[in-house]
A and B are shown apart, each in its own frame.
Chain A
Amino acid sequence: DTAVSQTPKYLVTQMGNDKSIKCEQNLGHDTMYWYKQDSKKFLKIMFSYNNKELIINETVPNRFSPKSPDKAHLNLHINSLELGDSAVYFCASSQVLASNTGELFFGEGSRLTVL
């Protein structure tokens, strides 16, 4: 049973389209994240949500809008897709505990290709 699952795994679309990526975690964690990994494998945080509340919002175009209907789900909607949006998007979750390092549990990624 996958801990952090994302759909779709692959997405190919045209410039200007709108698309969504969904994420669900069954670990009971309170915090979820979206990371972007570019073609050079650089992994950069985009957003984090704790219990449906936006906590981290890095410098990301406002074409990207995260939505968290509940603490187990964090979706990412992207409007007016551009070529530069092509990347692998990773969802992750974590839990704050006294002994925690903030370990992130990642999904397998959603590979977005914009043509």
Chain B
Amino acid sequence: QKEVEQDPGPLSVPEGAIVSLNCTYSNSAFQYFMWYRQYSRKGPELLMYTYSSGNKEDGRFTAQVDKSSKYISLFIRDSQPSDSATYLCAMSTYSGAGSYQLTFGKGTKLSVIP
């Protein structure tokens, strides 16, 4: 079993739809849970992060973590064409000496159709 599982999609939704992206993980040592967004031919950029179980909201985006089920989600409300990108979940552990080890999911490719 891989440490982080993420459905690669692709996922295609109409503009304005609510999008739900999910990851499951197996390693209880993960400390921080993040969502990165990667546009085509660009590097990933941090969208949101959470530490504890529960919800965290930022504008149209809500990140949710359920540590007991080892399950994280990202919800996008009122999706826009500009949200079209690959979304990668990532989980971090501190490796010591100032170094974090991020384990990424495979990413879900999202297309929002106008």
* Bound together: yes
Q: Which A residues fall within an 8 A CB radius of B?
A: 4, 30-31, 33, 40-45, 48, 50-51, 53, 55-56, 90, 92, 94-96, 101-104, 106-109
Number of A-B contacts (CB under 8 A): 78
Contacts of B102 in A (CB 8 A): 45, 102, 104
B71 lies within 8 A of chain A by Cβ: no
Known contacts A40-B8, A41-B8; decide if A108 and B43 are in contact (CB<8 Å). Answer: yes
A48, B102: Cα distance in complex, Å: 11
A90, B99: Cα distance in complex, Å: 16
How distant is A5 from chain B, measured CB to nearest CB, in Å?
11
Name the residue of chain B whose CB is nearest to the CB of A30: B98
Q: Which B residues fall within an 8 A CB radius of A?
A: 8, 32, 34, 38, 41-46, 49, 51, 86, 88, 92, 94-104, 106-107, 109
Provide a sorted-by-A list of 8 A–B residue pairs whose CB atoms are within 8 angstroms: A43-B107, A44-B104, A45-B103, A50-B98, A56-B99, A90-B43, A95-B98, A102-B32
A61, B101: Cα distance in complex, Å: 19
Contacts of B49 in A (CB 8 A): 101, 103
Known A42-B106, A56-B95; further 14 A-B contacts with Cβ < 8 A: A40-B8, A41-B38, A41-B86, A44-B104, A45-B101, A50-B97, A51-B98, A56-B99, A56-B101, A96-B100, A101-B100, A102-B92, A102-B94, A104-B100
Q: Which of A45, A90, A95 has the most CB of B within 10 A?
A: A45
| Interface of B, helix, strand, loop or mixed by DSSP | strand
A96, B95: Cα distance in complex, Å: 11
Indicate if the CB atoms of B99 and A31 lie closer than 8 Å: yes
Query: Which of B42, B97, B101, B106 is A40 in contact with, Cβ under 8 Å?
Result: B106
A41, B88: Cα distance in complex, Å: 9
Contacts of A50 in B (CB 8 A): 97-99
Known contacts A94-B100, A96-B98, A109-B42; decide if A101 and B86 are in contact (CB<8 Å). Answer: no
Indicate if the CB atoms of B43 and A102 lie closer than 8 Å: no
Contacts of A42 in B (CB 8 A): 104, 106-107
